[in-house]
Chains A and B, each alone.
Chain A
């Protein structure tokens, strides 16, 4: 398994990744709670960006409603925990099934009836809005007044029920992000990855080569929705409160896709680079400004806007592709293995 995973990956990249992983593993021992919080956010956005990228970057299907899957994952695991005391890890399969079914339903509607491009994107927004309004009136999870998980001073980390210190949450998110990265790496080099990319590039030509495009687009949506719902579980147990207005708000969907867009759509490292740049730099600049005694309101949003503008104007493929060329990791060259 490891052999197949690392096959064809340049040695210096493996070393760089190993060093990065080691640094990330040791971070909680040196970082204070604030830095740890920022790192958790970066990992969270790297993870969700990775999940969204499967649909848009690999298979070319633009979803602007991914907050739906985050929300379904969050509400399902939280409700099962609060009402029945079910561990989030046991609630997770239920959440995944619900999110996958929601994704499959939207995908079926769209792909069966030829809804593509921006119209497909609007459809994804519509369903996220349905959920927002629906959950506002969903009494079982307290509707619009918000659903809360019990918070107490935990003396020890309870991984089984996801109650504990930031360090525990950090490790959980790190593990999820690493797994998501490995899944994407594997998917992209597998048969299905080639078919997705063919569909992304030219659906008609893909059909001519015998690809059942409906089937592979459905698979992309289901995988992406399932992975995104796992982030929802993390969101619920990390923040301990869920408001439909927040969870399903369109800005949630947008903030989740900015990372991969800025980092490079369709690339493996794009979502990670994007999350680091957006969250990491935004926080650093914010900290720097407040250290200088200046805390302009909305500084983060302005920074997001500036980043997006720079990338769109100067690096239309995102940060990663030109960076990869600089590092001698040209896409066409790293595939000359075997």
Chain B
């Protein structure tokens, strides 16, 4: 079976600066796939191209057999890609439940059905008890999970997670890892994540792509990638593991 997401020779320039350079990779269905790399390596730019925020200067992005590069974000979401933002963007004035409702209404026209779905998603993300709080009053770990819940409520086939572990304490990281593992195992949802927290990457991902200065320098299983000399040199540091 063809991969769910195929990124081929994708490049992106910002007025002369090459943020992403000729990157190619494929995400098979049902896996958790991680993109790692130092700050400024082009990870978020790559995400923004997949999610429809930027149009690539070159290359193609094929999702579920169809080209999606250059489509606007709302169209990309309709095709079945949900995303979170590195800097969380909750609808602060709305309650936690209503935040997730907005996502749930994407494929549901009935408010009651959407509410049931939203609550179901909230329960999976350990946020059910906080559903009546205004989203603006949540702590960072809760906001990160709300971000995931909202994206998940749109019933994506592919979930893009942009550094959902950043800023979390180790116990919170473990909690997020557990939740994501469970979602992946139970529903077979494909997850593509950008992550700095290697602990999370090692326990979650079955495949890892390493970016450095916009280019892919390694791809493979987490265990293989962390032993790759180029990766150690550019990113992890000789003493990292």
Q: Is the CB of A205 within 8 A of B98?
A: no
A259 and B42 CA atoms in complex are apart in Å by 49
Q: Is the CB of B91 within 8 A of A205?
A: yes
A201 and B51 CA atoms in complex are apart in Å by 20
Contacts of A198 in B (CB 8 A): 91, 94, 102
Q: A202-B89, A335-B95 are in contact. Are A209 and B132 (CB under 8 A)?
A: no
Q: Is the CB of B154 within 8 A of A209?
A: yes
Find the A residue at minimum CB distance from B107: A210
A204 and B112 CA atoms in complex are apart in Å by 26
Q: Is the CB of A332 within 8 A of B101?
A: no
Q: Which of B69-98 contact A (CB under 8 A)?
A: 72-74, 77-78, 82-83, 85, 89-95, 97-98
Contacts of A194 in B (CB 8 A): 98, 101-102, 105, 111
Distance in Å: Cβ of B10 to nearest Cβ of chain A: 20
Q: Is the CB of B154 within 8 A of A333?
A: no
Find the A residue at minimum CB distance from B135: A201
Q: A197-B93, A202-B91, A333-B132 are in contact. Are A208 and B102 (CB under 8 A)?
A: no
Interface class of chain B by DSSP: mixed
Quick check: is A191 within 8 A (CB to CB) of the other chain? yes
Quick check: is B106 within 8 A (CB to CB) of the other chain? yes
Distance in Å: Cβ of B112 to nearest Cβ of chain A: 6
A212 and B72 CA atoms in complex are apart in Å by 9
Quick one: which of B95, B105, B133, B151 contacts A195, CB cutoff 8 A? Answer: B105
Quick one: which of B78, B95, B115 contacts A332, CB cutoff 8 A? Answer: B95
Quick check: is A38 within 8 A (CB to CB) of the other chain? no
Find the B residue at minimum CB distance from A213: B74
Quick check: is B117 within 8 A (CB to CB) of the other chain? no
A335 and B154 CA atoms in complex are apart in Å by 21
Q: A201-B93, A202-B91, A332-B133 are in contact. Are A207 and B98 (CB under 8 A)?
A: no
A209 and B73 CA atoms in complex are apart in Å by 8
Distance in Å: Cβ of B149 to nearest Cβ of chain A: 11
Number of A residues, CB within 8 Å of B: 27
Quick check: is B150 within 8 A (CB to CB) of the other chain? yes
A-B contact count (CB 8 A): 81
Quick one: which of B83, B97, B111, B115 contacts A208, CB cutoff 8 A? Answer: B83
Q: Which of A152-197 contact B (CB under 8 A)?
A: 189-191, 194-195, 197
Quick check: is A12 within 8 A (CB to CB) of the other chain? no
Find the B residue at minimum CB distance from A191: B105
Contacts of A190 in B (CB 8 A): 111
Q: Is the CB of A191 within 8 A of B111?
A: yes
Find the B residue at minimum CB distance from A192: B105
Quick check: is A211 within 8 A (CB to CB) of the other chain? yes
Given A205-B89, A209-B154, 4 other A-B residues pairs in contact with their CB atoms under 8 A: A190-B111, A197-B98, A207-B72, A335-B97
**Can you identify 9 A-B contacts, CB atoms within 8 angstroms?**
A191-B111, A195-B105, A198-B102, A202-B90, A202-B91, A207-B72, A210-B77, A211-B106, A335-B98
